[in-house]
Structure formats: C-alpha cells, structure tokens
Homo-oligomer: A and B are copies of this chain.
Amino acid sequence: MDKIGTYQFLTEPFHCDFSQQLTMPHLGNHLLNAADFHSNDRNFGMKYLMPRNRTWVLSRLAIDVIELPQAYDRFQIKTWVESAMRFFTNRNFKVMDESGNKVYALGKSIWALIDTESRQPADIFAIRNGEIKQWETTSETCEMDKPTRIAIKEETKTLRQIETRYSDVDMNGHINSIKYIEHALDIWTVDFYKTHRIKRIEAAYVAESKPGDILIYSGLETCNNDFSIKIERKTTLEEKLTEVCRLRVVFE
C-alpha cells in the first residue's frame, strides 16, 4: 500500500456558501475524514484503536488556502505521515483538483494519542510495535509555514459567547474540533466575506469541552486582517475559565 493516501471528494452544493464555494469548516471536516481513512486503511486508525482504549486527538491544524473548489467540482485530498514520534505525529495534506494539476489548499497537522479512560497521552510506538514509522514519507512536498505559536494580547475583547449543544458533539462525545472554527468564522458577517477571503487558518487545541459548556471567544486583530482568538470554556460545575483552543484567521 502507498504511504500516501488519496481520497476523492465532491463539492456538494449544500456544503457551499453564498459564493458557491466550499466552506472552510466543510474542507476541514474532509481533511479529518481523509486522515481517518488513511490511518484506518493502514491499521493504526480509530477502528483499530478504539477497542484498545486509545484514540487520536488533534493537537494542531494549519490550512493555507490558494483557492476553494466551486459547487459540483470534484477534488482529491492526499494525506501522509511526515514523521512519527513517541507522543506526536506530523500529518500533511494536499487538496488538489481532479486532474492533480491545481492545488486548492495545503495542510499541516499534529496529532497525539491518548488513553480514552485517563485522557492522558499514550505511547504511539506501543501500537503494533511502532509500525507507524514505516508509513513516514517526505516524498510529497507540502510547502507552507508550520503552525506558529498563537500569541494572545492582554487587552482582548469578548467576541462571542456560545452554549455548546447536540450538533456540536462528535463521536467521542466532545465538541468537534472543526466546530470551534465554524463558530469563530461566524464572528464575521456575510458582507465581510463578500470582500475578504480566508488565506490561512491555524488552530491549537489545548483541552476538550463537553456539550453544555459555555464557550467564550475573545481576541483581536493583531495586524491587518490577521486575527488571534482565544476560546475558553465555562462549565456549570466550575466558575473559572479554562482555555480550550486558540485560533488564528488570516484574511486577504
């Protein structure tokens, strides 16, 4: 089996926004699906891990967008493991048109393995005797900046406050990684999107949150069209805020 997995997708009309282009949250979900297919096909995915009380957790995600596919366009996502260490793997993505000539977007991600009971990091090399190392490849390029450290200034302002609900929850019972991004992109109006396109999104996932948690989005424009957003959760049980995620959204 090839070290690089290639998966075909169709830009479904009901996954497009007013501009008739695929939305970023739907593209993000497709990337996560591609990662899931690639790891399952090679026997280190959720299907193998779940019965063994292990699961992959997304720690970092960065997406550089060159152009988004239009409604009805077919596209492909290539994904591969660039490197695997004891506690993290680096996985890259390349989103291309059907012919493979045009690059729509690039992605870099970092994943941790956790014990589903203790929710603590687990040893990646303990799975199938470190077999994941044999899937490492750098044969495909992914020329984009790595996820950076997202700095949050002291003097931020609250942008949104959201009560998480049924539709925010994933198969693990936690808030879906992409939903944090979807709620963040809803900070801007449709009119803003008519004159600004998203060039880059970065996400750093710090802690998990559960349905019913209140998410508080705060942040600022750090420089022209470059926004840093901190997401904190407030549960009914504890009054203090816990940081769950940091996002960076760069418009052009």
Contacts and interface: CB of A to CB of B under 8 A. Distances in A.
Interface of A: 12-18, 20, 23, 25, 29, 32-33, 36, 46-47, 71-72, 165-167, 169-173, 176, 178, 182, 185-186, 188-190, 193, 211-212
Contacts of A165: 186, 189
Given A18-B169, A23-B167, A166-B188, 6 more contacts: A14-B33, A18-B170, A25-B167, A165-B189, A167-B185, A169-B190
B166 A189 contact: yes
Contacts of A18: 169-173
Contacts of A176: 14
How many subunits of this chain does the assembly comprise?
Answer: 2
A188 to B, nearest CB: 7
9 contacts: A12-B29, A13-B171, A14-B32, A14-B178, A17-B169, A17-B171, A71-B171, A165-B186, A167-B182
Contacts of A169: 17-18, 190
A33 B16 contact: no
A50 to B, nearest CB: 10
B186 A13 contact: no
A107 to B, nearest CB: 15
